[in-house]
Amino acid sequence: MKIALVCPASLPATQFGGILFLCVDIARELAKIGHDVTIYTTDLDFANNPKTFNKKLPRLEEIQGFKINRTHVWFSFQLFYVNPSMYNRIKNDKPDIIHTVGIRSFQSLIAALVSKRHKIPLVISDQGGLTTHPDLTGGSIIKKIIYKLQMPMVKFIINQASKISVANDYEKDIFEQFKDKSKITTIKNGINLDSMQSNNIDFKKKYSINQNFILFLGRFHKVKGVDVLLRAWELLKNKSEAQNIKLVIMGVDFGFESEMFRMIKDLDIGDSVIVIKKPPREDVIAAYQACEFLVLPSRWELSPLTPLEGFAFKKAVISTKTHGVPYTIEDGKNALLVEPEDHTGLSEAILKLLKNSNMKIELGLAGYKMVNDTCNSMQMASNTLKLYETILG
Protein backbone atom coordinates (compact mmCIF):
# COMPACT_ATOMS: atom_id res chain seq x y z
CA MET A 1 0.00 0.00 0.00
CA LYS A 2 1.23 3.49 -0.85
CA ILE A 3 0.47 5.72 2.15
CA ALA A 4 0.75 9.49 2.42
CA LEU A 5 0.94 10.83 5.97
CA VAL A 6 0.58 14.60 6.26
CA CYS A 7 1.75 16.68 9.22
CA PRO A 8 2.79 20.32 9.85
CA ALA A 9 6.19 19.15 11.13
CA SER A 10 8.38 16.08 11.20
CA LEU A 11 11.94 15.10 12.06
CA PRO A 12 14.23 16.73 13.09
CA ALA A 13 11.73 19.12 14.81
CA THR A 14 11.16 16.74 17.73
CA GLN A 15 10.11 19.58 20.04
CA PHE A 16 7.03 20.35 17.94
CA GLY A 17 4.80 18.01 19.90
CA GLY A 18 2.87 14.77 19.92
CA ILE A 19 1.46 14.73 16.39
CA LEU A 20 4.99 14.59 14.98
CA PHE A 21 5.76 11.42 16.93
CA LEU A 22 2.41 9.84 16.04
CA CYS A 23 3.10 10.26 12.32
CA VAL A 24 6.67 9.04 12.61
CA ASP A 25 5.63 6.00 14.64
CA ILE A 26 2.86 5.01 12.22
CA ALA A 27 5.21 5.52 9.26
CA ARG A 28 8.00 3.46 10.80
CA GLU A 29 5.78 0.54 11.89
CA LEU A 30 3.98 0.30 8.54
CA ALA A 31 7.23 0.60 6.58
CA LYS A 32 8.60 -2.32 8.63
CA ILE A 33 5.95 -4.63 7.17
CA GLY A 34 6.54 -3.56 3.59
CA HIS A 35 4.28 -0.58 2.94
CA ASP A 36 5.50 2.43 0.96
CA VAL A 37 5.07 5.31 3.44
CA THR A 38 5.92 9.01 3.01
CA ILE A 39 5.40 11.85 5.47
CA TYR A 40 4.64 15.10 3.63
CA THR A 41 5.59 18.05 5.77
CA THR A 42 7.35 21.40 6.09
CA ASP A 43 11.03 22.17 6.63
CA LEU A 44 10.50 23.21 10.25
CA ASP A 45 13.75 22.59 12.10
CA PHE A 46 13.10 24.07 15.57
CA ALA A 47 16.79 24.91 15.85
CA ASN A 48 16.06 28.11 17.78
CA ASN A 49 12.31 28.67 18.03
CA PRO A 50 8.94 27.36 16.79
CA LYS A 51 9.29 29.33 13.54
CA THR A 52 12.69 28.18 12.29
CA PHE A 53 12.48 26.86 8.73
CA ASN A 54 15.61 25.35 7.26
CA LYS A 55 16.06 25.26 3.49
CA LYS A 56 19.19 23.14 4.01
CA LEU A 57 17.17 20.16 5.19
CA PRO A 58 16.90 17.47 2.47
CA ARG A 59 13.77 17.84 0.36
CA LEU A 60 13.44 14.05 0.31
CA GLU A 61 14.99 11.83 2.95
CA GLU A 62 14.64 8.19 3.92
CA ILE A 63 14.65 7.42 7.65
CA GLN A 64 13.96 4.06 9.30
CA GLY A 65 12.43 2.67 6.11
CA PHE A 66 9.98 5.51 5.39
CA LYS A 67 10.43 8.78 3.49
CA ILE A 68 10.06 12.40 4.59
CA ASN A 69 9.10 14.80 1.79
CA ARG A 70 9.69 18.41 2.88
CA THR A 71 8.58 21.61 1.18
CA HIS A 72 9.56 25.12 2.20
CA VAL A 73 7.21 27.36 4.17
CA TRP A 74 6.45 30.64 2.41
CA PHE A 75 5.13 32.35 5.51
CA SER A 76 3.66 31.42 8.88
CA PHE A 77 1.43 32.77 11.62
CA GLN A 78 1.62 31.11 15.03
CA LEU A 79 1.64 27.39 14.12
CA PHE A 80 -0.06 27.87 10.74
CA TYR A 81 2.63 27.16 8.11
CA VAL A 82 1.94 27.82 4.43
CA ASN A 83 3.76 25.57 1.92
CA PRO A 84 1.66 25.32 -1.28
CA SER A 85 4.18 23.19 -3.21
CA MET A 86 3.19 20.24 -1.03
CA TYR A 87 0.10 19.85 -3.25
CA ASN A 88 2.08 18.74 -6.30
CA ARG A 89 4.37 16.53 -4.22
CA ILE A 90 1.41 14.46 -2.98
CA LYS A 91 -0.46 14.54 -6.30
CA ASN A 92 2.53 13.39 -8.35
CA ASP A 93 3.26 10.48 -5.99
CA LYS A 94 -0.29 9.11 -6.40
CA PRO A 95 -0.78 7.49 -2.99
CA ASP A 96 -3.49 4.92 -2.38
CA ILE A 97 -4.62 6.74 0.77
CA ILE A 98 -3.90 10.03 2.53
CA HIS A 99 -3.89 10.40 6.32
CA THR A 100 -3.52 13.90 7.72
CA VAL A 101 -2.94 14.79 11.38
CA GLY A 102 -3.83 18.17 12.90
CA ILE A 103 -6.73 19.48 10.85
CA ARG A 104 -6.43 23.18 11.65
CA SER A 105 -3.26 23.20 9.57
CA PHE A 106 -2.61 24.35 6.02
CA GLN A 107 -1.16 20.89 5.40
CA SER A 108 -4.52 19.25 6.12
CA LEU A 109 -6.20 21.63 3.70
CA ILE A 110 -3.74 20.57 1.00
CA ALA A 111 -4.39 16.91 1.83
CA ALA A 112 -8.16 17.42 1.50
CA LEU A 113 -7.78 19.28 -1.81
CA VAL A 114 -5.63 16.51 -3.30
CA SER A 115 -8.11 13.93 -2.01
CA LYS A 116 -11.10 15.68 -3.59
CA ARG A 117 -9.47 16.56 -6.90
CA HIS A 118 -7.83 13.17 -7.49
CA LYS A 119 -10.35 10.93 -5.71
CA ILE A 120 -7.94 9.54 -3.13
CA PRO A 121 -9.49 8.40 0.19
CA LEU A 122 -8.72 10.70 3.11
CA VAL A 123 -8.35 9.80 6.80
CA ILE A 124 -8.09 12.64 9.32
CA SER A 125 -6.88 12.79 12.92
CA ASP A 126 -6.98 16.01 14.86
CA GLN A 127 -5.09 15.69 18.16
CA GLY A 128 -5.60 19.43 18.58
CA GLY A 129 -8.93 19.97 20.28
CA LEU A 130 -11.24 20.84 17.42
CA THR A 131 -13.67 22.84 19.58
CA THR A 132 -12.17 22.65 23.08
CA HIS A 133 -8.67 24.11 22.90
CA PRO A 134 -8.35 27.14 25.26
CA ASP A 135 -7.00 29.36 22.47
CA LEU A 136 -10.40 29.15 20.77
CA THR A 137 -11.97 31.26 23.52
CA GLY A 138 -9.13 32.61 25.61
CA GLY A 139 -6.65 33.79 23.00
CA SER A 140 -6.14 37.25 21.56
CA ILE A 141 -8.76 38.93 19.38
CA ILE A 142 -6.63 38.21 16.31
CA LYS A 143 -6.47 34.52 17.24
CA LYS A 144 -10.21 34.35 17.76
CA ILE A 145 -10.84 35.94 14.37
CA ILE A 146 -8.42 33.54 12.68
CA TYR A 147 -10.07 30.52 14.32
CA LYS A 148 -13.49 31.71 13.08
CA LEU A 149 -12.09 32.18 9.58
CA GLN A 150 -10.63 28.67 9.74
CA MET A 151 -13.99 26.98 10.36
CA PRO A 152 -15.06 26.74 6.67
CA MET A 153 -11.65 25.15 5.97
CA VAL A 154 -12.05 22.74 8.89
CA LYS A 155 -15.58 21.74 7.79
CA PHE A 156 -14.35 21.16 4.24
CA ILE A 157 -11.59 18.85 5.52
CA ILE A 158 -14.02 16.93 7.75
CA ASN A 159 -16.60 16.56 4.97
CA GLN A 160 -13.93 15.26 2.60
CA ALA A 161 -12.77 12.57 5.04
CA SER A 162 -13.70 8.95 4.42
CA LYS A 163 -12.94 8.19 8.08
CA ILE A 164 -11.93 10.08 11.20
CA SER A 165 -9.49 8.47 13.61
CA VAL A 166 -9.84 9.68 17.21
CA ALA A 167 -7.75 8.86 20.27
CA ASN A 168 -10.56 8.43 22.80
CA ASP A 169 -14.29 8.81 23.47
CA TYR A 170 -13.82 12.42 24.57
CA GLU A 171 -12.59 13.33 21.07
CA LYS A 172 -15.21 11.10 19.48
CA ASP A 173 -17.99 13.11 21.12
CA ILE A 174 -16.48 16.30 19.67
CA PHE A 175 -16.41 14.97 16.11
CA GLU A 176 -19.98 13.65 16.30
CA GLN A 177 -21.02 17.31 16.11
CA PHE A 178 -19.61 17.37 12.57
CA LYS A 179 -19.74 13.83 11.18
CA ASP A 180 -21.91 10.74 11.48
CA LYS A 181 -20.53 8.46 14.20
CA SER A 182 -20.27 5.58 11.71
CA LYS A 183 -17.39 7.50 10.11
CA ILE A 184 -15.46 7.80 13.40
CA THR A 185 -13.06 5.13 14.65
CA THR A 186 -11.28 5.15 18.01
CA ILE A 187 -7.60 4.22 17.86
CA LYS A 188 -5.64 4.80 21.04
CA ASN A 189 -2.44 6.76 20.81
CA GLY A 190 0.74 4.79 21.38
CA ILE A 191 4.43 5.37 21.91
CA ASN A 192 7.48 3.72 20.40
CA LEU A 193 8.77 1.49 23.18
CA ASP A 194 11.98 0.76 21.28
CA SER A 195 12.95 4.42 21.50
CA MET A 196 12.08 4.52 25.21
CA GLN A 197 15.24 2.74 26.31
CA SER A 198 17.86 3.80 28.83
CA ASN A 199 20.78 5.59 27.19
CA ASN A 200 24.30 6.31 28.35
CA ILE A 201 23.56 9.88 29.45
CA ASP A 202 24.01 10.54 33.17
CA PHE A 203 21.27 13.15 33.40
CA LYS A 204 22.04 14.31 36.92
CA LYS A 205 25.73 14.67 36.17
CA LYS A 206 25.14 16.50 32.89
CA TYR A 207 22.94 19.12 34.55
CA SER A 208 24.75 19.19 37.92
CA ILE A 209 21.76 17.85 39.86
CA ASN A 210 22.86 16.40 43.17
CA GLN A 211 19.44 15.43 44.49
CA ASN A 212 16.43 13.42 43.39
CA PHE A 213 13.96 15.34 41.25
CA ILE A 214 10.42 15.32 39.91
CA LEU A 215 9.89 16.21 36.28
CA PHE A 216 7.67 18.54 34.25
CA LEU A 217 8.08 18.10 30.50
CA GLY A 218 6.13 20.24 28.05
CA ARG A 219 5.76 23.56 26.33
CA PHE A 220 6.29 26.69 28.37
CA HIS A 221 2.69 27.74 27.85
CA LYS A 222 -0.02 28.68 30.32
CA VAL A 223 -2.25 25.89 28.99
CA LYS A 224 0.28 23.41 30.38
CA GLY A 225 -0.27 24.71 33.91
CA VAL A 226 3.35 25.66 34.62
CA ASP A 227 2.15 28.52 36.82
CA VAL A 228 -0.05 26.15 38.85
CA LEU A 229 2.93 23.84 39.34
CA LEU A 230 5.15 26.67 40.56
CA ARG A 231 2.53 27.79 43.11
CA ALA A 232 2.18 24.18 44.27
CA TRP A 233 5.96 23.92 44.60
CA GLU A 234 6.05 27.05 46.75
CA LEU A 235 3.66 25.36 49.21
CA LEU A 236 6.11 22.47 49.48
CA LYS A 237 9.31 24.40 50.06
CA ASN A 238 9.02 24.19 53.86
CA LYS A 239 7.86 20.56 53.95
CA SER A 240 10.52 18.17 55.25
CA GLU A 241 9.72 15.57 52.56
CA ALA A 242 10.56 18.09 49.82
CA GLN A 243 13.76 19.53 51.28
CA ASN A 244 16.05 17.26 49.25
CA ILE A 245 13.97 17.21 46.06
CA LYS A 246 14.40 19.39 42.99
CA LEU A 247 11.77 20.34 40.43
CA VAL A 248 13.09 20.02 36.86
CA ILE A 249 11.14 21.88 34.16
CA MET A 250 12.07 20.91 30.59
CA GLY A 251 10.62 22.33 27.40
CA VAL A 252 10.43 24.97 24.71
CA ASP A 253 9.05 28.49 25.04
CA PHE A 254 5.54 28.97 23.67
CA GLY A 255 4.99 32.41 25.18
CA PHE A 256 5.26 31.78 28.93
CA GLU A 257 9.02 31.58 29.54
CA SER A 258 9.52 35.14 30.80
CA GLU A 259 6.51 34.90 33.11
CA MET A 260 7.74 31.52 34.35
CA PHE A 261 11.13 32.91 35.37
CA ARG A 262 9.45 35.91 37.00
CA MET A 263 7.26 33.59 39.06
CA ILE A 264 10.23 31.48 40.14
CA LYS A 265 11.92 34.63 41.41
CA ASP A 266 8.82 36.14 43.05
CA LEU A 267 7.91 32.88 44.79
CA ASP A 268 11.50 32.51 46.04
CA ILE A 269 11.86 28.93 44.81
CA GLY A 270 14.85 29.40 42.52
CA ASP A 271 17.12 27.28 44.69
CA SER A 272 14.97 24.17 44.12
CA VAL A 273 13.83 24.67 40.51
CA ILE A 274 15.96 23.81 37.48
CA VAL A 275 14.80 24.95 34.03
CA ILE A 276 16.21 23.20 30.96
CA LYS A 277 15.34 24.91 27.68
CA LYS A 278 15.15 23.20 24.27
CA PRO A 279 16.43 19.82 25.49
CA PRO A 280 17.60 17.31 22.87
CA ARG A 281 15.48 14.19 22.64
CA GLU A 282 18.14 11.97 24.19
CA ASP A 283 18.18 14.19 27.28
CA VAL A 284 14.39 13.93 27.57
CA ILE A 285 14.66 10.15 27.60
CA ALA A 286 17.45 10.32 30.19
CA ALA A 287 15.28 12.60 32.34
CA TYR A 288 12.41 10.08 32.27
CA GLN A 289 14.81 7.41 33.45
CA ALA A 290 16.30 9.52 36.26
CA CYS A 291 13.24 11.27 37.71
CA GLU A 292 11.15 10.19 40.70
CA PHE A 293 7.83 10.80 38.91
CA LEU A 294 6.16 13.22 36.46
CA VAL A 295 3.89 16.18 37.20
CA LEU A 296 1.76 17.45 34.30
CA PRO A 297 -0.81 19.98 35.59
CA SER A 298 -2.38 20.89 32.25
CA ARG A 299 -5.46 23.06 31.90
CA TRP A 300 -6.23 21.24 28.64
CA GLU A 301 -5.05 18.06 26.93
CA LEU A 302 -6.63 15.82 24.34
CA SER A 303 -4.66 12.56 24.51
CA PRO A 304 -1.21 13.35 25.91
CA LEU A 305 1.81 11.22 25.03
CA THR A 306 4.12 12.45 27.80
CA PRO A 307 2.46 10.33 30.53
CA LEU A 308 2.76 7.27 28.28
CA GLU A 309 6.45 7.95 27.75
CA GLY A 310 6.91 8.22 31.50
CA PHE A 311 5.10 4.90 31.92
CA ALA A 312 7.65 3.27 29.62
CA PHE A 313 10.14 3.88 32.44
CA LYS A 314 7.69 2.73 35.15
CA LYS A 315 7.27 6.28 36.43
CA ALA A 316 4.13 7.44 38.20
CA VAL A 317 2.28 10.48 36.86
CA ILE A 318 0.36 13.31 38.50
CA SER A 319 -1.95 15.20 36.14
CA THR A 320 -5.39 16.83 36.04
CA LYS A 321 -9.01 15.77 35.57
CA THR A 322 -9.37 17.90 32.48
CA HIS A 323 -10.77 17.24 29.00
CA GLY A 324 -9.13 14.12 27.49
CA VAL A 325 -6.70 13.32 30.30
CA PRO A 326 -9.02 10.96 32.28
CA TYR A 327 -9.66 9.10 29.00
CA THR A 328 -5.92 8.50 28.64
CA ILE A 329 -4.73 7.79 32.20
CA GLU A 330 -6.79 6.72 35.21
CA ASP A 331 -6.91 8.23 38.67
CA GLY A 332 -5.83 5.76 41.34
CA LYS A 333 -4.93 3.08 38.80
CA ASN A 334 -1.84 4.42 37.04
CA ALA A 335 -1.90 8.11 38.00
CA LEU A 336 -3.07 10.67 40.53
CA LEU A 337 -5.44 13.22 38.98
CA VAL A 338 -6.33 16.54 40.62
CA GLU A 339 -8.61 19.37 39.57
CA PRO A 340 -7.06 21.83 37.10
CA GLU A 341 -6.08 25.21 38.58
CA ASP A 342 -5.90 23.65 42.08
CA HIS A 343 -2.32 24.29 43.19
CA THR A 344 -3.14 23.21 46.75
CA GLY A 345 -4.51 19.87 45.60
CA LEU A 346 -1.51 19.47 43.30
CA SER A 347 0.93 20.09 46.15
CA GLU A 348 -0.90 17.50 48.25
CA ALA A 349 -0.66 14.92 45.45
CA ILE A 350 3.08 15.57 45.07
CA LEU A 351 3.54 15.23 48.81
CA LYS A 352 1.55 11.97 48.79
CA LEU A 353 3.93 10.37 46.30
CA LEU A 354 6.99 11.75 48.07
CA LYS A 355 5.76 10.10 51.28
CA ASN A 356 4.54 6.83 49.77
CA SER A 357 7.16 5.01 47.73
CA ASN A 358 4.97 1.89 47.40
CA MET A 359 2.18 3.91 45.78
CA LYS A 360 4.68 5.53 43.45
CA ILE A 361 6.01 2.13 42.36
CA GLU A 362 2.54 0.58 41.94
CA LEU A 363 1.26 3.43 39.77
CA GLY A 364 4.37 3.27 37.61
CA LEU A 365 4.07 -0.49 37.11
CA ALA A 366 0.38 -0.19 36.17
CA GLY A 367 1.26 2.45 33.60
CA TYR A 368 4.07 0.27 32.24
CA LYS A 369 1.62 -2.59 31.75
CA MET A 370 -0.79 -0.29 29.90
CA VAL A 371 1.76 0.92 27.35
CA ASN A 372 3.04 -2.60 26.79
CA ASP A 373 -0.45 -4.03 26.32
CA THR A 374 -2.33 -1.35 24.38
CA CYS A 375 -0.79 2.13 24.13
CA ASN A 376 2.24 1.39 21.98
CA SER A 377 3.14 2.29 18.41
CA MET A 378 2.87 -1.28 17.07
CA GLN A 379 -0.74 -1.60 18.25
CA MET A 380 -1.59 1.93 17.07
CA ALA A 381 -0.12 1.30 13.61
CA SER A 382 -1.83 -2.11 13.31
CA ASN A 383 -5.22 -0.58 14.10
CA THR A 384 -4.55 2.29 11.69
CA LEU A 385 -3.67 -0.15 8.90
CA LYS A 386 -6.94 -2.02 9.49
CA LEU A 387 -8.75 1.30 9.07
CA TYR A 388 -6.98 1.95 5.74
CA GLU A 389 -7.81 -1.57 4.54
CA THR A 390 -11.48 -1.11 5.45
CA ILE A 391 -11.64 2.08 3.38
CA LEU A 392 -9.85 0.56 0.40
CA GLY A 393 -11.93 -2.60 0.57
Mean pLDDT for 213-220 is 96
Whole-angstrom distance, CA of residue 325 vs CA of residue 335: 10
- Residue 334 scores a pLDDT above 70: yes
- What count of other Cβ atoms lies within 10 Å of the Cβ of residue 134? 15
Instruction: Tell me the average pLDDT of the chain.
Output: 93
For residues 325 and 339, is the Cβ–Cβ distance under 8 A?
A: no
For residues 233 and 273, is the Cβ–Cβ distance under 8 A?
A: yes
**Radius of gyration of the chain, Cα coordinates, nearest whole angstrom:** 21
**pLDDT confidence of residue 343:** 97
Burial class (CB in 10 A: 0-12, 13-18, 19+), 144: middle
The domains located in the chain, with CATH, are 2-190+376-392 (3.40.50.2000), 203-373 (3.40.50.2000)
Whole-angstrom distance, CA of residue 191 vs CA of residue 132: 24
47 vs 371, higher pLDDT: 371
Phi-psi region of 293 (alpha: psi -120 to 50; beta: other; left: phi over 0): beta
The 10s digit of each residue's pLDDT in 170-187 is 999 999 999 999 999 999
The 10s digit of each residue's pLDDT in 86-96 is 999 999 999 99
Collapsing DSSP states into helix, strand and coil, what is residue 341? coil
pTM assigned to the model: 0.89
